[in-house]
Amino acid sequence: SAVISQKPSRDICQRGTSLTIQCQVDSQVTMMFWYRQQPGQSLTLIATANQGSEATYESGFVIDKFPISRPNLTFSTLTVSNMSPEDSSIYLCSAAWDRAYEQYFGPGTRLTVT
């Protein structure tokens, strides 16, 4: 089975700053996604990372706050911009191969904003 890794695994950041999270898959994938999991809560889809084009954002999430890149079929980044304490969450990337609905997750990035 493929390995999905994320960097950093955790970080503590000051409000007003930005953090870029990397997601790397060890094989080419069809689709990549970014989720947010607030403390003790379920997972919410932020956006679908499209290779070579702009990401598709879900309601409530905007590109200025969460810019996403996907330069190739194995790598994507999510930036959390102008952070506030409300952005403290676990950010997860997921990947899908043949079927977009069959998603596999990375280990997550635990972000704390002070």
Q: Which chain residues interact with another protein by CB under 8 A?
A: 4, 31, 33, 41-45, 48, 58, 92, 99-108, 110
Q: Name beta bridge partners: 15.
A: none
Closest contact distance (angstroms) between CB of 18 and another protein is: 23
Q: What are phi and psi of 49, to 5 degrees?
A: -90, 115
Closest contact distance (angstroms) between CB of 82 and another protein is: 26
Q: For another protein, which is the closer residue by CB, 67 or 108?
A: 108
Closest contact distance (angstroms) between CB of 16 and another protein is: 27
Angle at 46 between CA 44 and CA 51, to 5 degrees: 135
Closest contact distance (angstroms) between CB of 32 and another protein is: 10
Q: For another protein, which is the closer residue by CB, 33 or 66?
A: 33
Nearest to 19, CA basis, from 32, 27, 9: 9
Q: For another protein, which is the closer residue by CB, 78 or 92?
A: 92
Dig out the tokens for 111 from the structure. 């972000």
Q: For another protein, which is the closer residue by CB, 41 or 82?
A: 41
What gap in Å lies between CA 44 and CA 21, rounded to an integer?
Answer: 17
CB 5 within 8 A of CB 23: yes
